[in-house]
Amino acid sequence: MTATLLTDRAVIRLSATEPGEDLSGFLNGLVTNDVSGSLPVWAALLTPQGKVLFDFVVWADGDDLLIDCEADQAEALAKRLSIYRLRRKIGIALDPALGVHWQPCAGASPDPRLPELGQRWVGDRSGDNASTQWRAHRLALGVTEGHAELADLLWLECNAAELNGVSFTKGCYVGQENTARMNWRQKVNRRLIVVPLAESDPARQRVTYPDLGLAVDHRRVEDIPAERLPGWLQLEG
């Protein structure tokens, strides 16, 4: 059997505990992407200054919303969302019965960031672990994710616009002001980039993957060699 389960991912379920609660409206006022339209989408919850706290994929499940996130960060994310809930009748809890699955081939449910990432879906939490294969696949494509790689960086420095992780038309959300200003000025001075470990700059290094011979660096745009830019990331100037 082909391994598909990403064991380092978890699923948070948002559900209305009373009729009339607008789940997508609640989440839309918090996260970077528009969750009121076609799902799934990749999004983030930012600080008021526009820096990354959590990134995740949002799915629809009937009237509920599902958040596909890092397992290590799931409880912290659920707690943060609950702070914003205030008096709204919304349930926010981990769903241990569900897991996130992935295959590198093209299919009916392509990853919302980049089709080349393969297909992704939420289903029963069963099957063999594909987390190692997934990490190698996404890093080979130059795609970063997760707390170790993204946390505390400005969202657009994480290549969020190029990977469909932000809506500039949906309205306000936490951290929207700085994110919109960077986009309006078309000025992103630094970027996350995946490089061979031997070429990584220790002063700019976010995380290393010795088993893959790769590292994730946070570099000034002018310091990124053109040959290290993935095909989907074309920088001006």
The highest-level CATH class for domain 9-188 is alpha beta
In whole angstroms, what is the distance from residue 103 CA to residue 122 CA? Answer: 12
pLDDT per residue, tens digit, the chain (237 aa), is 589 999 999 999 999 999 989 999 999 999 999 999 999 999 999 999 999 999 999 999 999 999 999 999 999 999 999 999 988 999 999 999 999 999 999 888 999 999 999 999 999 999 999 999 999 999 999 999 999 999 999 999 999 999 999 999 998 999 999 999 988 888 899 999 999 999 999 999 999 999 999 999 999 999 999 999 999 998 765
| 98-103/119-124 β-pairing | antiparallel
Domain boundaries, the chain: 9-188
Dihedrals φ, ψ of 27, to 5°? -70, -35
Q: What is the pTM of this model?
A: 0.96
The conformational region for residue 92 under phi > 0 = left, psi -120 to 50 = alpha, else beta, is beta
In whole angstroms, what is the distance from residue 157 CA to residue 52 CA? Answer: 10
| Predicted pLDDT at 187 | 82
Residue 194: what residue type?
V
Report the DSSP beta bridge partners of residue 143.
Answer: none
Sign, CA torsion 127/131/134/136: negative
> Which H helix or E strand runs over 184?
helix 176-185
Closest by alpha carbon to 37, among 11, 19, 58, 21? 58
- 76-101 burial code (b ≥16 CB/10 A, e <16): ebbebbeeeeeeeebebebbeebbbb
Judge contact between 45 and 28, C-beta under 8 A: no
